[in-house]
Every structure is written in structure tokens, then in C-alpha cells.
């Protein structure tokens, strides 16, 4: 017997037939004698519709400003999950399963006060555990909790992954199964490289990098949480026949296991290639090379909530002037340029140059910690294809390379094959 938290995303609960299909997945695990709790998202498209209503209401009401109250935003957008949790409970009851729906406040999933982007602070799992012991399936509305102000708080878009991992940690589940519309995590985006392979296992740290780099399988925070609490997390498809052979395998269900690196016996040097589009580069030329200059640049940018990613600084030739290049999302360039020009006097630079529409491709793998030459292989392969590299940053388990947008797909395929990822 295992204790399993099963999470179903928006496309998996998009209509009543699919909710029935989800109920069959749950029934399979219950019939096998496992203790089960379920977390659901809203029907796909529902949260977008609700957010749109929230944003439109002030205009319709003739308000001078588009401002709306974040507490009311949460009251409205959390409703999508309330509906699917109730519907799934009914579908399960129809299959003869003892099931009950729970809203975030009823568990209670306690969050901080950051309405719209709240963080979970505490979950008391004892009641869910007690009900599991009695054979009841708790169907929990994802994406929501209750803040210190006693009001509903939502966890940020995509937050039901985080709800599921947090509940799995709170009930000490053996597994957290994230059912979605893809059947696992791939070596790269299969839409770009059809030879991409599904990974059997990915280490938490690698998944964190892939998720932050735009592999949108899981909310980044859910991976952070899984890593901290060592929650073994499976990414798997809800669209497969719930009763197909192997679907109920306790140790190796079909999909990708995200786990501690110690569980990965045969670690490849490189696990995957990720990319992030719409990056922009900003360069400050002839910058004063003195203590405090980085703080003078990046302090004001961070106060304006501009997310700076790669930072490259040259060592000056004469000890007085240098260049600094960094990247921001393309959508933030104009804002960033304004902040820089407002602070030009304090920072002390000559000119600023910027370029939008760049792409960051990244090679990820914890195996590169103990292997030399991984970066050189990437540089050689890109050079052979005539792809120019604009900037490079590395960490222990990642090499990120900034290139011109039109080369993105070629670069992804080139890197994917130069590490042999397309060979099974």
C-alpha cells in the first residue's frame, strides 16, 4: 500500500467527460488499496476568463483607474477550482468511492498575505491522513489557501502544482503524481526536435533549471518545494486509458520521475536542452570601473521589478572604464532603459545599447559537475553551424548561451544531437 497525492491540471478536467476519466484514474489507485488524496485545477480556460472579468469590471463600472482589490481578485479567480473539486467528488461518488471536496480554507492551507501570489506557510495534514485511514478520498481545490486576514488567497498562476506538492509533503505521501496533457518531461521541446526523448528520471535541481527556462510542465515553485521536502513527483498523462497495463505500477508508473539525484544511478552528463525566447540584451558602454557601480545599476532595476538574468562584465584595460552587458525579458527593455537613463549620472556610463528578440539556449545536467569539456562541445557544435554566441553564463549544472532569435531552433537541435540526446 502506498500513499499517493494525484493532481489533475486544467486540460485533464476540461469537461465532464474528462472529469469522469479522471475519476477512473483515481478509482484505479483506490481499488489497488492505496491511500489517495486528489488536487484539481480549474477547467482549462476558466481561470483566464475569471481574471479577464476581474480586469474588466472597473472599466465597465466607469472607474478612473484600472485598479482592483487583490482580495476580491482572489475571491473570484479561486472559484474555478471550487467547481472542479465538487464535480470530481460527485464523479467519484458515482463510481462508488467515498469522496469529499475541500476548499483551501477548510484544510486549512495557510498562506501569507500576498494576495494573488501567496506562499503556503503551513498545512496541517492530520485530517486528510485520518480520512485516508477511513477510506475517504479528499478532493482538494488547488491554487488556493487562506491568508492571515482570514480571506481566500491564491498562489499565482499555475499554483495548483504547488498545492499538490505541499499537500504531498504535509501528508508524507510516497508519491505526488502530476497528471497533465503531456506524458512526461522530455530531453527538449518535441515540437522543435521530434527526436526528443521522454526522460525516466530527472533530478530536482535539473528540473528546477528546466522549469525556470520555460519548460512549462510544472510551476517553478512546486519544484522548489518538492526539492526541499524531497517529494518524489511523477509527471504523467491523464489522457491514457486509466486501465491500460502498467498504469497502476506502484514503483514505475509511466511518466517522468522528478527525484533526488541519489536515486538516479546512471547519471548522463547532459539531461536536457531548454530555451527561453524573448530575451533582450542591454549593454552599458564605458562604465566607470569602481566599487558600487553594479549596485548602482542593478539596485534601481530590481526596485522597478525588472528581472535581470545573465550579467557579463569585462575587466577594464586601464582600470578606469569597462563595459557591462546583461539580459532582461524583451517586454521589460523600455522600462529598463528608462530606469538606466534616469540614473545615468549616478551610475556613470557613456552610452547604452539594447537589442530585443534574442534567445537563451541552455544545456542542463548534474553530470557536468564531474565532466570537463561540456561547454567546449557546445561552442564547437554551434560554431560548425555558423551560430554566433553573444553571451555565456554557466553554473555547476548549466551552460546558458545567448544567440539571435532566428537561430533558436537550429541551436536547440544542434545541442540536442551533439550530446547524443537523440539516441535512446
- Residues forming the site for Mg ion (CB under 5 A): 9, 158
DSSP letter string, 368-390: GGG-SSHHHHHHHHHHHTTPPP-
In the bound state with ligand ASP, the residue whose beta carbon lies nearer, of 26 and 217, is 217
Coil, strand or helix at 312: strand
104 binds ligand ASP (CB under 6 A): no
Q: How far is the CB of 107 from Mg ion (least distance, A)?
A: 20
Q: Which stretch binds ligand ASP (CB under 6 A): 39-47, 228-236, 283-291, 312-320?
A: 39-47
Choice from 119, 151, 157, 286 touching ligand ASP (CB under 6 A): 157
Residue 153 and residue 74 in contact, taking contact as beta carbons nearer than 8 Å = yes
Query: Which of 287, 286, 263, 296 lies closest to 366 in space, CA to CA?
Result: 263
Cell (9 digits) for 225: 518545494
What is the Cα–Cα distance from 298 to 325, expressed in whole angstroms? 12
41 binds ligand ASP per the rule CB under 6 A: yes
Phi-psi region of 102 (alpha: psi -120 to 50; beta: other; left: phi over 0): beta
Give 415's DSSP letter: H
Cβ at position 327, least distance to ligand ASP in Å: 26
Q: Which stretch binds ligand ASP (CB under 6 A): 41-49, 232-240, 250-258, 282-290?
A: 41-49
3-state secondary structure (DSSP) of residue 139? strand
Residue 144 interacts with ligand ASP (CB under 6 A)?
A: no
- 80 touches, from ligand ASP, Mg ion, none (C-beta below 5 to 8 Å by class): ligand ASP
Map residues 161-190 to x or -, x wherever contact with ligand ASP holds by CB under 6 A.
x-----------------------------
Residue 235 or 402 having the CB closest to Mg ion: 235
Pick what 143 binds: ligand ASP, Mg ion, none; C-beta below 5 to 8 Å, kind-dependent: ligand ASP
160 binds ligand ASP (CB under 6 A): yes
Residue 351 burial by Cβ neighbours in a 10 Å radius (0-12, 13-18, 19+) = exposed
- How many residues bind ligand ASP (CB under 6 A)? The answer is 13
Find the binding residues for ligand ASP in span 58-87 (CB under 6 A).
Answer: 80
Neighbouring CB atoms inside 10 A of 370's CB total: 9
- In the complex, what is the shortest distance from the CB of residue 118 to ligand ASP, in angstroms, rounded to a whole number? 13
Residue 267 near residue 261 (C-beta atoms within 8 A) = yes
The CB-of-363 to ligand ASP minimum distance in angstroms stands at 29
CA distances from 421 to 184, 222, 269, 415, 417 (A): 16, 26, 10, 9, 6
Judged on CB neighbours under 10 Å (0-12, 13-18, 19+), 354 is middle
- 143: contact with ligand ASP by CB under 6 A: yes
Short-list 224, 34, 202, 210, CA closest to 132:
34
195 binds ligand ASP (CB under 6 A): no
Residues from 364 through 383 that contact ligand ASP (CB under 6 A): none
Which is nearer to ligand ASP, 120 or 273 (by Cβ)? 120
From the list 98-106, 157-165, 252-260, 347-355, the region that binds ligand ASP by CB under 6 A is: 157-165
Residue 159 near ligand ASP by CB under 6 A: yes
Work out whether 42 is an interface residue with ligand ASP (CB under 6 A): yes
Stretch touching ligand ASP by CB under 6 A, among 152-160, 276-284, 294-302, 378-386:
152-160
* Nearest Cα residue to 147 out of 105, 91, 184, 207: 105
- Contacting residues for 420 by C-beta, under 8 A, at least 6 apart: none
Nearest-approach distance from CB 44 to ligand ASP, in angstroms? 8
Cell numbers that stand for 325 in this block: 552587458
Comparison of 11 and 325: residue with beta carbon closer to Mg ion: 11
CA nearest 218: which of 157, 282, 305, 290? 157
Contact residue for ligand ASP among 11, 12, 21, 47 (CB under 6 A): 47
Return the number of the residue (146 or 273) whose C-beta is nearest ligand ASP.
146
**Helices and strands (H, E) in the chain, number of each type:** 14, 18
Q: Which of 104, 125, 145, 158 binds ligand ASP (CB under 6 A)?
A: 158
CB of residue 152 vs ligand ASP: minimum separation in angstroms?
13
**What does the block give as the cell for 99?**
469522496
**Residue 159 Cβ vs Mg ion, minimum distance, rounded to whole Å:** 8
Residues that bind ligand ASP (CB under 6 A): 9-10, 41-42, 47, 80, 142-143, 157-161
Amino acid at each position: 500500500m502506498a500513499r499517493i497525492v494525484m493532481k489533475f491540471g486544467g486540460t485533464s478536467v476540461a469537461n465532464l467527460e474528462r472529469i469522469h476519466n479522471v475519476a477512473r484514474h483515481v478509482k484505479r489507485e483506490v481499488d489497488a488499496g492505496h491511500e489517495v488524496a486528489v488536487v484539481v485545477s480549474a477547467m482549462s480556460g476558466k481561470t483566464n476568463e475569471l481574471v479577464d472579468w476581474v480586469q474588466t469590471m472597473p472599466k465597465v463600472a466607469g472607474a478612473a483607474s484600472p485598479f482592483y482589490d487583490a482580495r476580491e481578485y482572489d475571491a473570484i479567480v479561486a472559484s474555478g477550482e471550487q467547481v472542479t473539486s465538487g464535480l470530481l467528488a460527485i464523479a467519484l461518488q458515482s463510481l462508488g468511492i467515498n469522496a469529499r471536496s475541500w476548499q483551501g480554507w477548510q484544510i486549512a492551507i495557510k498562506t501569507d498575505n500576498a494576495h494573488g501570489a501567496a506562499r503556503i506557510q503551513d498545512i496541517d495534514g492530520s485530517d486528510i491522513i485520518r480520512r485516508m485511514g477511513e477510506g475517504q478520498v479528499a478532493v482538494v481545490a488547488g491554487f488556493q489557501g487562506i491568508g492571515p486576514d482570514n480571506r481566500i488567497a491564491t498562489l499565482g498562476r499555475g499554483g495548483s502544482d504547488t498545492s499538490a506538492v505541499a499537500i504531498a509533503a504535509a501528508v508524507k505521501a510516497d508519491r505526488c503524481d502530476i497528471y497533465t496533457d503531456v506524458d512526461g518531461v522530455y530531453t527538449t521541446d518535441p515540437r522543435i526536435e521530434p527526436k526528443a526523448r521522454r526522460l525516466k528520471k530527472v533530478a530536482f535541481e535539473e528540473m528546477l533549471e528546466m522549469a525556470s527556462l520555460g519548460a512549462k510542465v510544472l510551476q517553478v515553485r512546486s519544484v522548489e518545494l518538492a526539492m526541499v521536502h524531497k517529494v518524489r513527483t511523477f509527471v504523467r498523462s491523464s489522457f491514457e486509458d486509466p486501465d491500460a497495463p502498467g498504469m497502476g505500477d506502484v514503483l514505475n508508473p509511466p511518466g517522468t520521475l522528478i527525484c533526488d539525484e541519489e536515486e538516479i544511478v546512471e547519471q548522463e552528463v547532459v539531461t536536457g536542452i531548454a530555451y527561453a525566447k524573448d530575451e533582450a540584451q542591454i549593454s552599458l558602454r564605458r562604465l566607470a570601473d569602481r566599487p558600487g557601480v553594479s549596485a548602482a545599476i542593478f539596485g534601481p532595476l530590481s526596485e522597478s521589478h525588472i528581472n535581470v538574468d545573465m550579467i557579463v562584465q569585462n575587466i577594464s584595460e586601464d582600470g578606469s572604464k569597462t563595459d557591462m552587458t546583461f539580459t532582461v525579458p524583451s517586454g521589460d527593455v523600455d522600462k529598463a532603459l528608462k530606469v538606466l537613463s534616469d540614473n545615468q549620472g549616478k551610475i556613470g556610463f557613456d552610452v547604452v545599447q539594447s537589442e530585443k528578440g534574442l534567445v537563451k539556449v541552455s544545456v542542463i545536467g548534474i553530470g557536468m559537475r564531474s565532466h570537463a569539456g561540456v561547454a567546449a562541445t557546445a561552442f564547437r557544435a554551434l560554431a560548425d553551424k555558423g551560430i554566433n554566441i553573444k553571451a555565456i553564463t554557466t553554473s555547476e549544472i548549466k551552460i546558458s548561451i545567448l544567440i539571435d532569435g532566428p537561430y533558436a531552433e537550429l541551436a536547440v537541435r544542434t545541442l540536442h544531437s551533439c550530446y547524443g540526446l537523440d539516441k535512446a
